[in-house]
Structures are given as C-alpha cells and as structure tokens.
Structure 1
C-alpha cells in the first residue's frame, strides 16, 4: 500500500545479488507456496495491516503454507508496520511461526521495521541477509 515493503524487498534482492546469490523476486499474491521447497532459501517481506492482520493479498499464500512441507528450506521474514499500533509487526510473527510450522529452517531472526526503512533498518536487513547466505554454505 505504501511501497515500504517493496523497497525492502528490492533492497534485499539487490544485496543478495551483490553477494553472488541467485534471486527470484515475486509478490506474495503471485507466488505459489507449494513451490517454496524448490528454493534453497526464502525471504518473506510483509506488512501488518490494520490491527495486526495479514495483508489481503498474502492470505491465500499464508493459508497454503499450512499444507506445505518446506523440507528444511532456509527462511527469513521481514516487514514494516507502525509502532503506534498495539499489534506492531504481527504479520511478521505470523509468517515466522507458520514457516517454522511448515518445517522450514529459520536462518535469521525476523526483522520488523517501523514504517519506512531508514539506514539503521537497512543495516539490520543486510545482517539478516548475511545470515541467510551463511546458512546456505
């Protein structure tokens, strides 16, 4: 809605490419959760909507994850929200829990960003990406 997570996803993709990683960048609405086990690692970027809700466009993907065995696929989750909400970053928490429940292997701590990512946030995001890269070696 604001483009904050698109900026985050593009930043992660660029960072991974700079570090010689092959990257496929897709919107959750266009992604088939059943294809995730085909990847070595997955980074989900999501925002938290309203009172801690998943974005509408992510709901089908999230529901499908319940039926997917990630077969130890490495993953990380990042997302923007507003610290002014009581349920700050809850969608990040939901995805982290579901990816773990789907037998994924969490490569890095989840990262929550207060609205638009700043320089410090991008450092934390880069660190998350570094952990994902290390987990693949």
Structure 2
C-alpha cells in the first residue's frame, strides 16, 4: 500500500507525530511518502492508495498559512477511490480546538475521498494514549488497503 503522509508543524509536535506514524506504517510494510504540506501537490494525490493529512490549528481556528494553497487546491481535485484520514495537535485551551483537522476532513470528503478512520485530535504534546490513537488510525488506513493486495 502506498501512503502519502503530509503534515504541517509549527512547534515540532506534529512533525514528531508524523515521523512516529510514518515509522509505524513502514514497520507494517506500507510504502510511505512523508512530506510537509507546503511541498505536497494536491493534484498528485491520486497516485496514492491512501492520504493522511496532519495539521495544527492556527490562531482563531484557521488552517495554517503554509497549508492554505494545498487546502484551496482540494476544491479542484477528485479523490474518488482514495482513502484518507486526518489528525493533528492543537490545544484544548483554545475555543477552536482542532478546527483545522475538521476543515481538512470536510475538504477531503468534498473532494470525493473515502474517510477510513475517525479524525484524531491531540491536546498539545502526545502522551501514550494519544500515540495509541495514532497507531489505531494507521491500522484503519492499512486495513482499508487490504483490497489492494
């Protein structure tokens, strides 16, 4: 299974989570392309069996500045038959906790993607329970690809 794991990280939290998830998926024999969102071309996502987007939520519940072009491009792509999942770190101290995760989930659904795992929102630095949820998300993505074998 070929998976794109694209992320954006301001504090390093999401980068840490993305690398953890990429390593986990590779241990399970998946082929993983790990890229920052700013380096990801939304129009090339149909080359993958599954897409995982990881983002933080900026300011008043906004998509991060460096992810805006990618996010906007999702309006013009057709992800039919493409599996996806979304996760991200945010702070429960903000009224808009994880809202960018919700925005990406809606945008990928609107692009005809098939959501294969519930979105995962992590409050600041991940703990053992959060890493368990990240692995579960990864397992759901991998399970969705079993029909590709």
Shorter-normalised TM range: over 0.9
Aligned length: 137
Hey, what's the Cα distance between the residues in 1 that align with 2:137 and 2:33? 17
Q: How far apart are residue 51 of structure 1 and its match?
A: 1.1
Structure 2 length as normaliser, TM-score? 0.91
Choose from 49, 55, 71 the match for 1:46: 55
**Runs of 4+ off more than 6 Å:** none
Q: Does 1:115 align with 2:107?
A: no
Residue 11 of structure 1 aligns with which residue?
20
1:13 aligned counterpart, secondary structure: helix
Q: How does 1:92-107 map to 2 (within 5 A)?
A: 92-107=101-116
* CA RMSD in angstroms, aligned pairs only: 0.5
Q: For residues 2-61 of structure 1, give each alpha carbon's deviation from its aligned partner in whole angstroms, at most 9, with x where no partner exists.
A: 100001110110000000000000000000000111100010010001110111000000
Q: Which runs of 5+ in 1 are unaligned?
A: none
Q: Between Structure 1 and Structure 2, which shows a larger proportion of strand residues? A: 2
